[in-house]
Amino acid sequence: MIDLLDFDGQASAVLELKDVCFTIQKEGEDVNLVDRANLKIPRGHFMAIVGPSGCGKTTLLKTIAGLNPESAGALFWDGRNLSEEGDFEPSEIGYVPQFSIAYDPLTVDESIEAATRLRVKTRDAEDLDHRIDHVLEETGMTAIADRAVKVLSGGQKRRLGLAMELVSDPKLLLCDEVTSGLDPRSEREIVRLLHDLSRRDGRIVLSVTHSLAHLELYDSILVLHEGRVAYHGPPELVTHYFSVEDSEEIYPKLATQPSERWRESWMKHQEAYYEKLERSRKRAIEAGALHVPETHDEEDPEEAATVRTPGFIAQLSTLLSRRWRIFFRDRGQVFLQLAILLCFPLLVILFSDKANAPIPSLSDSRQENILVELKEANDVYAAWAKVGSAISGVVMFQVILLSLMGSNNSAREIAGERQIFEKEKFGGLRPMAYLSSKVVFLSCLVAAQSVWMGVFVNFFGPFRGEFSQHLMFLLLINGAMTAICLGISALMRTAEQASLLSIYLVGFQLPLSGAVLALPDHIEQFTRPFISAYWSWSGSIEALESKAAFAVDSVISTRPSAHDACLYTLLLHVGAGLLAAWIGSRRHQWD
């Protein structure tokens, strides 16, 4: 393969692949989804990656991006071996996936602003506004900057995705099927936009597409077949190379012989086609249609210095601001939270009447008639049993309702936005900043729900004991279930999986707590450490005044644990949930 040369004789290839493979295990055998790919791509180049479904287009793009670690070969960027000297800097690369990377409740302007604050450390508010305005103008979205994402058309959402990637001015822009599902006019507009973006400051744009329309807008076409390069050259020569009259006949032609044959044929012809590519490139530079800086060192050092990832606090602040904005604009979610906040305590009050009944005491004087004395004792014990059962039930009811609130708080919190999170993490978002924003947001919900539950129920049915201790255990059960379900949400791949597992977790809290029906000893010893509801119920029962505690003790067979044991166990549950959330947020789960 020859080097691509620019006018001063320097090698102009900035992105280079040398025998790159990406291998997976299938039925015990190695399968190359990308097989010995060799490419050299100069600055300011616009390349289409085409091929039949399943040929490895997206896999190759992800391998270039570093999302798929290459199994063999090497990738070079501006002379740097990415396999040995570190991956792309977040500001060097932009990746536009097939899915939307914006939140529906936000506006176009707010989405781009959040992307800028998360990816670029701006000098001041003026610098921030300048970047946002520049990107809006560059992608043709200035007129719809105040429009909500949820009302955008398909083509406008693709432009927004591009805009959110351009905030850091990446020198390599990777686009995965950004024209799929669009009408012909919108498709051409997006391809034209990508072409224009490649003509600015030597940016390389690689676009995966299944469509063979508008090939004339690309500088080169890369045709893949079963993970192997079958052609990489000028678009006007692709039909000649495959001996077909129309580009739509290329895919059927590929199926006429094995992919290895196509690769071998291309290896024989690539030098001549690369020479034609270079001549076209030189003509574009001469005509002024392509501006290519000679080296990155000639860029404005002050401008280059601004493209740095913001710090932890800045990202945390941006994420929190965005999360609360999304929350208050989601009327369904706000209504649900208010309904839960108001209705759940009312449900507890409906069942707390018997728990407020007076608890009688045995008479100190002995009755002359033993039968009368026995009847009096039986009546007192019966009253204790009735009140004690009611107190225990009300406490457990509060605990279970707050467990349900905790599950509702966080079961979908990470899994529901998994794709956006993974994309933002790829762009430089710190997982710790992301997780911290979730913890702060959810802590506000936990505090509001638990305090309101405790105070409201206590006002209408005063707790028979130390209320502050009871409130602490209400906060802990809600916090524990919220943290555990957040961990589940971080570990699961989909929101549906996370929600289902969280519901099962809450459903098993009541029967396995032992507060309603005593469990066999051998089962109880195994399950009790993991049942948050038991420890919250137990800690609240321990806070009861002596007479109420004795009444509860007279009807339950499960013994409450000591206060400290309940406290430390629930704190351990909170810690375990946060640890699981940390592991899940750090783990790569790009779909």
Three-state SS for 308? coil
Element (H, E) at 47: strand 46-50
Give the residues across from 34 on adjacent strands: 22
- What gap in Å lies between CA 227 and CA 263, rounded to an integer? 10
- Half-sphere CA count of 336, side-chain side, radius 13 A: 11
Residue listed under structure tokens 């629930």: 570
Looking at the chain, the whole-number percentage of residues with pLDDT higher than 70 is 86
Q: How many CB atoms lie within 10 A of CB 261?
A: 13
This model's pTM is above 0.75:
yes
Mean pLDDT of 207-236: 92
DSSP assignment of 519-586? PPHHHHHHHGGG-HHHHHHHHHHHTB-HHHHHHHHTT-SSPPPPHHHHHHHHHHHHHHHHHHHHHHHH
- What gap in Å lies between CA 255 and CA 576, rounded to an integer? 53
DSSP assigned state of 356:
G
Please count the residues of the chain. Answer: 591
- What gap in Å lies between CA 485 and CA 489, rounded to an integer? 6
Show the beta-strand stretches assigned E in 93-209.
Answer: 93-96, 172-176, 204-208
- pLDDT for residue 377 is more than 70: no
The confidence band for 13, taking pLDDT boundaries of 50, 70 and 90, is low
- pLDDT for residue 363 is more than 60: no
Structure tokens, 244: 């077909």
- pLDDT for residue 118 is more than 70: yes
What local confidence, expressed as pLDDT, does residue 58 receive? Answer: 93
Q: Taking the domain 43-61+88-292+302-306, which CATH number applies?
A: 3.40.50.300
What local confidence, expressed as pLDDT, does residue 1 receive? Answer: 36
What local confidence, expressed as pLDDT, does residue 174 receive? Answer: 96
The pairs formed by 429-433 with CB atoms below 8 angstroms and a separation of 24 or more are 429/118, 429/119, 429/315, 430/312, 430/315, 431/582, 431/585, 431/586, 432/312, 432/582, 433/312, 433/315, 433/316, 433/319
What local confidence, expressed as pLDDT, does residue 366 receive? Answer: 58
The answer for residues whose C-beta is within 8 angstroms of residue 572's C-beta and 6 or more apart is none
Mean pLDDT of 235-241: 92
- pLDDT for residue 296 is more than 80: no
DSSP assignment of 226-286? TTEEEEEE-GGGHHHHTT-SSGGGHHHHHTTS-HHHHHHHHHHHHHHHHHHHHHHHHHHHH
- What gap in Å lies between CA 125 and CA 103, rounded to an integer? 23
pLDDT digits (tens, 9 = 90+) for 493-530: 899 999 999 999 988 887 777 666 666 767 777 888 89
What local confidence, expressed as pLDDT, does residue 14 receive? Answer: 86
What local confidence, expressed as pLDDT, does residue 573 receive? Answer: 97
DSSP assigned state of 3:
P
- pLDDT for residue 285 is more than 80: no
- What gap in Å lies between CA 172 and CA 100, rounded to an integer? 20
- What gap in Å lies between CA 339 and CA 433, rounded to an integer? 31
Mean pLDDT of 485-494: 94
- pLDDT for residue 466 is more than 60: yes
Q: What mean pLDDT value characterizes the chain?
A: 86
- pLDDT for residue 94 is more than 70: yes
With 0-12 CB in 10 A as exposed, 13-18 as middle and 19+ as buried, what is 171?
A: buried
- Half-sphere CA count of 155, side-chain side, radius 13 A: 17
Residue listed under structure tokens 């270079």: 278
- Which amino acid, 146? D
Please measure the distance between the N-terminal and C-terminal CA atoms of the chain and give it in whole angstroms: 34
Q: How many CB atoms lie within 10 A of CB 146?
A: 9
Ranges 13-17, 161-165, 526-530, 550-554: which has the least confidence: 550-554
The confidence band for 469, taking pLDDT boundaries of 50, 70 and 90, is very high
The answer for residues whose C-beta is within 8 angstroms of residue 7's C-beta and 6 or more apart is 282, 285
User: Looking at per-residue confidence, does 188 or 362 come out higher?
Assistant: 188
- pLDDT for residue 362 is more than 70: no
With 0-12 CB in 10 A as exposed, 13-18 as middle and 19+ as buried, what is 565?
A: middle
Q: How many CB atoms lie within 10 A of CB 48?
A: 26
Structure tokens, 73: 């070969």
Three-state SS for 165? helix
Of the candidates 582, 577, 7, 581, the one whose C-alpha atom is nearest the C-alpha of residue 290 is: 7
The confidence band for 83, taking pLDDT boundaries of 50, 70 and 90, is confident
The domain segmentation of the chain, as residue ranges, is 43-61+88-292+302-306, 312-355+390-586
Element (H, E) at 23: strand 13-26
